[in-house]
Amino acid sequence: MPDQDKSLEVDVPYMEETMPHQINSPSFKGSNIKMQPPFVNEHGVVIGDSKYNSEESPLNNWSDEVDPAIMAGDQWVHPTNDIGWNSAENRELVEKSKKPQGFPFTHPDKDVSYDRD
């Protein structure tokens, strides 16, 4: 896991366990997945702040000497603020981890009031 022990003074890019700035992002509220704050990776780059513009980023310091492989690996991916969560498959993973919402006195997979009226 990336080095998350470094202190980070940035605004978190989510509220109420969702990312409103990403139209297709899932809501993590009620799921077993908890939103994680931004972190600074081993290269001094802020990951997960949704700004994608850190002065230390290789993208801002590109030259012929920079090996593109430096930007590969888990240290460049945020566990919850990543564009990959916007895919239908990953949104489904979040939805499946949520407890079913029902009315009081209902069983999660049985409708006891069906055909009673």
Give φ, ψ of 110 to 5 degrees. Answer: -135, 130
Q: pTM of the full predicted structure? A: 0.64
Closest-CA residue to 94 (of 34, 2, 43, 31): 31
Q: Mean pLDDT in the chain?
A: 78
Give the model confidence (pLDDT) of 68-112 as tens digits. 998 899 999 989 888 888 889 988 988 898 877 665 665 667 666
> In the chain, where does DSSP find H-type helix?
88-96
Structural element, H or E, at residue 64 = none
pLDDT, greater one: 11 or 5: 11
Task: State the Cα–Cα distance between residues 49 and 82, nearest whole angstrom.
Answer: 10
Domain range annotation of the chain: 1-117
Indicate the pLDDT class of residue 5, thresholds 50, 70 and 90.
very low
Percent share of the chain, pLDDT over 90: 10
Span 46-56, mean pLDDT?
83
pLDDT of residue 64: 92
